[in-house]
Structure 1
C-alpha cells in the first residue's frame, strides 16, 4: 500500500500518537523467568506500537513522548524512528528515568511486570503544548491517537489529555483507545475516564476491559453509554469486532482464525490497521478487516511489532467474500485463504 500523508520533513502527518513507551526485557528464548538465563531488549507502549503499526502499513505517523536521559531512552527512541516513525517531538528528561517492563511469556498468555512509577513520561503535562515541535505535529495531523493509559500515569498526564481533548480543531479526528490497566488505577480515580472517552471522535473498547471498567461489554449498551463519538469500535477478543456509528449503523466483522504465538500487542495492531483504513477512506467493513489482519500478524510473532502481509494479500482479503474471509487461517508461516492464489502469502 502506498504511503499516506505528506513527508515527515514537512511535519504534516496522517496520525500523531502520544503516550509512554518503555524499554522491554523479553526472555530469550521465551519462557517463565525461573527458567530463563538471558533477556533481549526491545521496546513497547500502546501509542508507539500504534505509530509503528501505521508506519509498517505505509501511513505516515509520529510519536510524542518523553524519555529519560539514559541508554534505554535513547535506544527505544532510535528503534521507533528506525521503523519510520517521526520522533522529532520526543523530549529527554534529565532527572527521571525511562520506564521499563519485563514480559514473562508462555504458550498461550503473557504476564507483564511494570517498573514505570516516576518515569520520564509520567511527568508529561499541559506545558507540552508550549513546545513548537509538538504544536507543529499536532497542527498538521489528520488524526491524534490517545489511550486511557496516559491519564492513569499522573495528575499532570491527566491534565495534558484534557487539554488535548479541549484543543480540538476542524479536520482533526481524535482517536481514543480505553486500554484499561487496573494496576495503574489502584491509587487513582477511574471515574475520570468516561468523560475523556466520550470526548473522542473514534473510540476503541475491548469488550472484556469495558465489562471490568464499566460493567458491560455489550456494543449497544456501550454505544448508549458513550453517545458523543462518531464511531465506537468494540472488540470481542478472538471472536468479532463491531463498529457502531452515531446514526445507529452497526457493522460486525468476525475475527480471523489465528494460530497464536503470543498475544501481547494485538489490540494496538488492530487500532493501527483500523486507523490506516480510516485515513485511506475505506468503508467500515474494510477498516475492520484491515484491523483484523494487523492484529493477526501481531498474534503470530513474539514481541509487540509485526510485519504486515504484502499489499496484494491484504487487498485480496479486504475484497474477499464473507465465506472466504471465514475460511482464512493465519499462522506464523503465512496466510491460507481461498481468496488468495496458490502462492506463498508472505
Structure 2
C-alpha cells in the first residue's frame, strides 16, 4: 500500500438502483452499486492517485463482501475495516427520475455494522500518519458512538498538525431534532480547516441567507477555507487570501443528482492537497460535480488521473 494521504471514517452501503423510472414499489429490476458519502470521496481521491485509507465496519454477508471487494479494487487501504458476522451491512434502494430532480431514496441502515464504530477503533499511529482527514455529517449521525468517534478522530488529527475537511452532508432523519443536528454539525465544523456546505445546508445550519454570510459564519469559528456549493450555479469560496464565485460547468442532461457533492469534495480536497490555489480547487470541484450528475451511480462520474489531466484541471 502507498503512504496515506487521506483517511476517512464512514458507512458503505450496498445500493440497488432502479433499472427504470417509477415508484420504487413498481420497479422489478435493480442494478447493484456502492454507496456512502465518505466512500464516494475515498473512491474519487484514490482514482486521482492519492493514498486513501477507509475505516468502517461491515457485516460478513454477501453485501459486506461485495463492498469490501469494491473498495479494495479501487486501491483503497481497507486494513482497518472490520467484517463481523454478528452485524448487518446497510443497504438502500434508489429510484430513477427523468426530469433532473432528486431521485427517491429508501434507506435500510438502522443498527448497521458501521453504526457500531467506537473511538477505540481508531488506530492512532495509522490515522495520524495520513496527511489529511475527510469527515462528514453522515457518519456522525449514525449513532452517539459514531459522533464521539468523529470528534476524537478530528481532535487527534488536529493535535498531529494534519489538515481536516468537513462536509455537513445533512441527514435530518438520522438526528433527534433539527436543533440537535445543527449543534452537533457546527461543533464538528469548528474542528475543520476546510468546510464544504451546500447553500440550503448552510442556511439551515447558520441562519445566514447568502453564501457570503454562511462562509463568514464558519470562518469566524476557525475554518481556513469555506466553499459553499450552489448546485448548477457553481460555488462561492472564501479564505483569508481570496474569495469569489466559480460558475458551474455545463451539463447536457442531469441523470442523477446523488453524489454530486461528494464529487465536488473530491475536486477541492485533491487540488488543495496538491498545493493548488483555492480558485483552481473550486473549479476542479465544480467540474467533477458536473460529471457526477450525468451518470446513474454515485461513483461512475468520478474521473481518473488521466481524465483529470486531459481536462487540464
Residues 17-62 of structure 1, C-alpha deviations (whole Å, 9 max, x = no match): 2111111111124543244211122110000000001112222212
- 1:282 has 2:276 as partner: yes
- 1:139 has 2:131 as partner: no
- Give 3-state SS (helix, strand or coil) of 2:216's partner: helix
State the match for 2:191 in structure 1. Answer: 199
Q: 2:258 aligns with which of 257, 264, 269?
A: 264
State the match for 2:117 in structure 1. Answer: 124
The structure-2 alpha-carbon separation of the partners of 1:193 and 1:312, relative to structure 1 and needing over 3 Å to count, comes to closer
Q: CA RMSD in A?
A: 2.0
State the match for 1:59 in structure 2. Answer: 50
The Cα of 1:224 is off from its aligned counterpart by: 2.9
TM-score (norm 2): 0.91
How many residues get paired?
305
8 Å CA contact retained: 2:198, 2:229:
yes
The structure-2 alpha-carbon separation of the partners of 1:126 and 1:83, relative to structure 1 and needing over 3 Å to count, comes to same
Q: Measure, in 2, the Cα distance between the counterparts of 1:78 and 1:198.
A: 35
State the match for 1:158 in structure 2. Answer: 147
8 Å CA contact retained: 2:47, 2:304:
no
Q: Measure, in 2, the Cα distance between the counterparts of 1:186 and 1:159.
A: 16
Describe how 1:31-42 pairs up with structure 2 within 5 A: 31-42=22-33
Describe how 1:299-338 pairs up with structure 2 within 5 A: 299-308=293-302, 314-315=308-309, 317-318=311-312
TM-score (norm 1): 0.82
Q: 2:80 aligns with which of 70, 89, 94?
A: 89
The Cα of 1:216 is off from its aligned counterpart by: 2.9
- 1:104 has 2:98 as partner: no
- Give 3-state SS (helix, strand or coil) of 1:163's partner: helix
- Give 3-state SS (helix, strand or coil) of 2:95's partner: strand
- Give 3-state SS (helix, strand or coil) of 1:229's partner: coil
What are structure 1's unaligned runs of at least 5 residues? 1-6, 320-346
Q: Measure, in 2, the Cα distance between the counterparts of 1:124 and 1:290.
A: 33
- Give 3-state SS (helix, strand or coil) of 2:80's partner: coil
Moved more, 218-227 or 192-201: 218-227
- 1:178 has 2:168 as partner: yes
8 Å CA contact retained: 1:286, 1:318:
no
8 Å CA contact retained: 2:20, 2:96:
no
Describe how 1:180-259 pairs up with structure 2 within 5 A: 180-186=170-176, 189-190=180-181, 191-226=183-218, 227=220, 228-245=222-239, 247=240, 249-258=242-251, 259=253
8 Å CA contact retained: 1:270, 1:295:
yes
Residues 105-159 of structure 1, C-alpha deviations (whole Å, 9 max, x = no match): 2112311111111011111111112xxxx33431221110010112211111111
What are structure 2's unaligned runs of at least 5 residues? none
Q: Measure, in 2, the Cα distance between the counterparts of 1:318 and 1:251.
A: 21
Relative contact order, higher structure (CA 8 A, sep 6+): 2
